[in-house]
Amino acid sequence: MQTNEQKIRLIRDRLTRIGIREKDISDETILASYSINNNGQLCGVQKSQPPLT
């Protein structure tokens, strides 16, 4: 299992490769918005929505 520091480093690397300026994004925001899947690809994190009442 990867530590948060390793995940952040990988995500920042992938964002830089696709041309997204990631220097202005905090580590917390990166972990909340992006993830690395089992194949090593960058993917967005699914946001859960509260149930409609």
Summarised one tens digit per residue, pLDDT across range 7-53 is 899 999 999 898 888 778 898 988 888 998 888 888 988 777 777 76
**pLDDT for position 53:** 67
Question: pTM of the entire structure?
Answer: 0.74
How would you classify residue 2: left for phi > 0, otherwise alpha for psi between -120 and 50, otherwise beta? beta
